[in-house]
A and B are shown apart, each in its own frame.
Chain A
C-alpha cells in the first residue's frame, strides 16, 4: 500500500522534472541557434504581433521553413501563412485581409492587379522573386532513365501529336537508347496550378507551331490523362506505362526525367540550372520601382540553364503602420537573404535566388518603412 502511494507520487514528479529539464534544454538550444543564425534575425528580437500571409501553395514547404526559422529567432511575432492558392493570395492582399502575398505569377497589369495593389498600399506595391523551383518532366518507360528532347518535341508529345515512344523525332535525339513502341500517355494536372501555368508558358514559347495554346493555369488540351495535384501526377506517371508528366522537381526524385534542349546541349532539372535560367532572363518592362517581376526567357540559350521552372513572388506594401513594418521587413528580409534562400533549398529543394537578383530583392525589401 505504502509503496503504491510512493510510486504514484514519484512517477509523475520525476516525469515533470524530466520534462522541465528537456524543455529548458530545448529553449537554450534554440536561442543559441537563433543568435548564431543570422544577424538580421537577432536584431528583430523586440518585435511583436501577428503577420498574415496567403497565396502560393508551391511555396508552402519553403514558407514553413522560413516561418519556423523566423519564429525561432523572433518568438514574439506569430506568422500565419495560408496556402490558399496564388489567385486567392493576391485577392486577399489587395482586399487588405493579409499583410503579404505569395504568388506563382507576377501581378498582372492587364487584369488591374498592379492598380489594385497600389490602391491597397497607398503606393506602388513591392514585388520580388523569392522562390525558384525547377519543374521536372517525368516519364515512365521501363528501362529508360533519361531522355533528351527539344522544346518542340515536348510540345508535340503533350499536344498528343507524337503518340509513340519510338517516334523518329524522339529516337533521333536519343542515339543508343532503345525505345519501345508503347503508346505515350501525357499526364497533366486536373486542378488549377502555377506549375501548369509555367509549364504551358514554356511550351507556348518554345513549342512553335506544335503548341497553339497560351499559358494557362488550367491545362488547355482536351486529351491526355488528368491527375489531382503534384502527388496525383507523380502517382499516375509511376503506375502507368508509357506515361509522361510534369511536376515540381523536389517531388520527382527517383523518377526518370527529360533533359530539355537549351542552345546546343541538353540540360536536366536541377536547382542550379533553374537559377541560371532566371539569371539569364530580363526584368519585365514598364514595372514601377520596387517591382522585380522577371520575364522568364523560356527560349534562352545560356549554357547550363533550365528554363522549365516556376518563379514565385512575394508581394508586400512599401510601408506599414509602426510595429508591423519592422515585422514584415524582418520576415521578408530573411526570406530573400542568402541564409533564407539556403533554408528553402534545403527544405523544399528550390533554387536560391541568382546573384544578379538577390541583392536587388534584399534592397527592395529593406526599403519597407513605417508610416
Chain B
C-alpha cells in the first residue's frame, strides 16, 4: 500500500521538492537581504554624522565622545540583566523540564511565556510606578552599608530610577526568552544518557551537571544571546525607567546614570533635525555592530570549547 502510494506520487514529489527547496531558499535569502538592507541604511545615513560638530552631538567634540557613554550604558545594563537572568532562567527551565510535577511544570511554562506577551511600555510603567519606589529602601541600605564598594557609592536615588532598576526590569523581559529556549534544550537531552547516568549511581543533581547541562550548552548560549539581543536593544522600558544623564559611571544606585543607545534614540529623535538624525542613526549602527560582535564572539567561544557540540 505504502509502496504503491510512493510510486504513484513520485511525479508530484519530484515537482514538490524543488518548489519547496526554492521557497525555503528564498526565505533564507530574504533574511540576508533584510539584514543587508538595514546595514546599508545605517551606514549610508550614519556616516555623514561622523564628522559633525558640537551643536549636533549634544556638546561633544567628536562622535566617539558622544557615543561612548551610550555604549557603556547599553553594555552595563545588558550585562547586569544577563548575569541575573541566565541563572534564573536555567533554574526555571530545569524545574520545568526535570523537577516539577508535570501539571505544575506546564503551568509555570505558560506563565513564563505570558511574561513575553506584556508590552515593554507596560514594563516601563511598572518599573517607574512599582518596582523603582519599592527598591529605594534596598538602595538606601546599600548606600549606607556597602558604599565602600564603588558600585553602591551614593548619593542614592530617591525615586529608584537607577540603572540597576532598569537592568532588573530587563531581567523580567529577557527571562521568558531565555527560559523558553533553555526548557526546550533541556527536554532534548537523550533519555537513555540520563538514565545511564542515574544507573551509574549519579544523584539527580549530578545527572543534570554531567548530562543535561553539557548537552544543552550551545543551546543555552543561543538562548542567552537572544536574551542579550533583547536587552541591548530594549528601548521603551529603559527610556521610561532610567534617569539618564549621559555620564560614564559604575555607580548603580544613584540618580546620575549613563543612557543606552536605544533609549537615547527614542528620547531625542522626536525633536532631532538635520544632521542630528544622522548622528542618531550612526549610534544605531554602533549598536548593530556591537550586537554582531557579541554574537560572533559567543558563537566562536562555544565552537572552540566544545567541538562537534555546536548546533
Give a binary string over B189-222; 1 marks a CB under 8 Å from any A CB, 0 the rest. Answer: 0000000000000000000000000000000000
Q: Are B243 and A191 in contact (CB under 8 A)?
A: no
- List the A side residues contacting B255 at CB < 8 Å: 185, 223-225
Instruction: Answer whether residue A24 sits at the interface, using C-beta atoms and an 8 A cutoff.
Output: no
Of all chain A residues, the one with the shortest Cβ separation from B155 is: A183
Q: Does A242 contact B (CB under 8 A)?
A: yes
Partner pick for A239 among B128, B246, B267, CB 8 A cutoff: B128
Among candidates A84, A88, A185, A193, residue contacting B159 with C-beta atoms closer than 8 Å: A185
Asked whether A284 is an interface residue with its Cβ less than 8 Å from the other chain, the reply is: no
Residue from the set A85, A87, A236 with the largest chain B CB neighbour count within 10 Å:
A236
- CB-CB nearest in chain B for A163: B155
The answer, yes or no, to whether B132 is at the interface (CB within 8 Å) is yes
A192 to chain B: which residues have CB within 8 Å? 267-268, 270-272
Q: Does A180 contact B (CB under 8 A)?
A: no
Query: Which residues of chain B from 257 to 288 have any CB-CB distance to chain A below 8 Å in the complex?
Result: 259, 267-268, 270-274
Q: Which of B128, B161, B242 has the most CB of A within 10 A?
A: B161
Contacts of A225 in B (CB 8 A): 157, 159, 161, 243, 245, 255-256
- Contact of A78 with B by CB under 8 A: no
Q: Across the interface, do B271 and A190 meet the contact criterion of CB distance under 8 Å?
A: no
- The answer, yes or no, to whether A250 is at the interface (CB within 8 Å) is no
- 8 A Cβ contacts from A203-242 to B: 217-218, 220, 222-228, 232, 235-236, 239-242
How near does chain B come to A188, taking the closest CB pair, in angstroms? Answer: 9
Compute how far the CA of A123 lies from the CA of B252 in the bound complex, rounded to whole angstroms.
55
**Are B245 and A222 in touch, CB under 8 angstroms?**
yes
Contact yes or no, B159 A87, CB < 8 A:
no
* Chain B residues whose CB sits within 8 angstroms of the CB of A166 once the complex forms: none
Q: Mark B221-250, 1 if CB is under 8 A from A, else 0.
A: 000000000000000000110111111000
Chain A interface residue bracket vs B: 20 to 34
B273 and A91 contact, CB distance less than 8 A:
yes
* A57 within 8 A of partner (CB): yes
CB A281 to nearest CB in B, in angstroms, measures 25
Option from A85, A222, A243 in Cβ contact (under 8 Å) with B270: A85
Are B158 and A183 in touch, CB under 8 angstroms?
yes
Contact A239 B270 (CB under 8 A): no
Q: Is B58 an interface residue (CB 8 A)?
A: yes
The 8 A CB mask of B36-49 against A (1 = contact, 0 = none) is 00000000000000
Which residues on B sit within 8 Å (CB–CB) of A228?
239-240, 267
1/0 contact string of A49-85 vs chain B (CB within 8 Å) = 0000000010000000000000000000000000011
A240 x B245 contact (CB < 8 A): no
Closest-CB distance, B154 to chain A (whole angstroms): 9
Cα(A241)–Cα(B132), bound, Å: 13
Q: Once bound together, how far apart are the Cα atoms of A191 and B161, in whole Å? A: 16
User: Cα distance A187–B161 when bound, in Å?
Assistant: 11
**Minimum Cβ distance to chain A for residue B55 (Å):** 9
- Tell me, rounded to whole Å, the shortest Cβ–Cβ distance linking A35 to chain B: 39
Q: In the complex the two chains form, is B243's CB within 8 Å of A87's CB?
A: no
**Could you tell me the distance in whole angstroms from the C-beta of B153 to the nearest C-beta in chain A?**
14
Interface residue A86 (Cβ < 8 Å from any Cβ of B): yes
The CA-CA distance from A235 to B159 in the complex, in Å, is 9
Give the docked Cα–Cα distance between A225 and B156 (Å). 11
Q: Assess the B270–A84 pair: CB atoms within 8 A.
A: yes
Is the beta-carbon distance between B128 and A222 smaller than 8 angstroms?
Answer: no
Cβ contacts under 8 Å, A239 to chain B: 128-129, 132-133, 159-160
A236–B128 alpha-carbon span in the complex (Å):
8
Q: List the A side residues contacting B161 at CB < 8 Å.
A: 225, 227, 236
Residue contact A191 to B270, C-beta cutoff 8 Å: yes
From A87, A190, A218, A240, contact of B273 by CB (8 A): A87
Interface string of A162-191 (1 = CB under 8 A from B): 000000000000000000000101010011
Q: How far is the CB of B235 from chain A (nearest CB, A)?
A: 11
Distance in Å: Cβ of B67 to nearest Cβ of chain A:
16
Residues 110-140 of A at the B interface (beta carbon under 8 Å): none
The docked-state distance in angstroms from the alpha carbon of A217 to that of B270 is 12
- Docked CA distance A141–B160 (Å): 17
Contacts A222-B246, A236-B243 known; A190 to B270 CB distance under 8 Å? no
With A187-B159, A193-B271 already in contact, 6 other A-B pairs whose C-beta atoms are closer than 8 Å: A87-B273, A183-B155, A191-B268, A225-B161, A225-B255, A240-B157
- 5 pairs, CB–CB < 8 Å, chain A vs chain B: A57-B270, A91-B274, A217-B271, A224-B256, A235-B128
9 tightest A-B CB contacts, nearest first: A192-B271, A240-B159, A85-B271, A225-B255, A87-B273, A225-B243, A191-B267, A240-B158, A241-B158
